[in-house]
Copies of this chain bind each other. A is one copy, B any other.
Amino acid sequence: MSGELAVIGLGPGDAALLTPQAAAALERASDVFGYGPYLARVPMRTGQQHHASDNREELDRARTALELAQAGARVAIVSGGDAGVFGMAAAVFEAIERGDPAWRALSVEVIPGISAMLAVAARVGAPLGHDFCVVSLSDNLKPWEVVTRRLAAAAEAGFVIALYNPASRARPWQLGAAFKLLRARLPATTPVVFATAVTRPDEHIAIVTLAEADAAQADMRTLVLIGTAQTRLLRRPDGSAWLYTPRSAA
């Protein structure tokens, strides 16, 4: 088989954060698959086909891409951020495991990207400066009890927490429930970052306390970071602030 599949992380949005490796793989592709808003970021070169699909159709998208690669095409699947962090990479390997055994012989390359948590952390300072956890708040694929168990364990063990998929129209109450759980375990003054559309023209970043954190500030494009009792807020003369978690934070 001569086809290939590249699973590519596009980074958070700013083209200056797309790696040269990802750009080269996009340039080489005959066919590019992805959720519409991510695909819209990929310049279409002559002869290249773009296949947009809905957000909820990861496995179908992966299967279609694998079939096309099997037929000899140079296929790319794109994710925002890093494809391995709540992106398309796991869906592709899930499709391979459940699919045509011949797919295991295909050339499949995962190309890493700047994940949203890294981009958000860089924007506000160094909030991930010590041990941290990364949790998807979506209960589409796992029970909500698993999410709450992990959040409780993370808060009690002193991890900074990065929350992906905090809210959507179909999941309106989960973030509020998560804040309630965390308020019972962390100081009211614990810093919380709401970062929406980071590095994109409509970027919006707010730093509040856990006591003030309002789930309505988040939507599908938001990453939420929750510090620890030891995360520090440094006020600057212009009124802005940096946030960082000391390397020694216990």
Contacts and interface: CB of A to CB of B under 8 A. Distances in A.
Given A113-B114, A118-B84, A244-B93, A153 B142 contact: no
A126 B89 contact: yes
B244 A89 contact: yes
Interface residues of A, number: 78
Contact of A235 (B58, B104, B146): B104
Interface stretch (A15-23, A28-36, A204-212): A15-23
A52 interface: no
B122 A250 contact: no
Contact of A112 (B17, B96, B131): B17
Interface string A84-109: 11100111111011000000110010
Contacts of A125: 89, 93, 110
Given A16-B19, A146-B250, A234-B96, A89 B131 contact: no
Contact of A232 (B89, B93, B114, B131): B93
Interface stretch (A67-75, A132-140, A180-188, A213-221): A132-140
A47 interface: no
Interface of A: 9, 11, 14-21, 24, 58, 82-86, 89-94, 96-97, 104-105, 108, 110-115, 118-119, 121-123, 125-136, 141-143, 146, 149-150, 152-154, 156-159, 232, 234-238, 242, 244-250
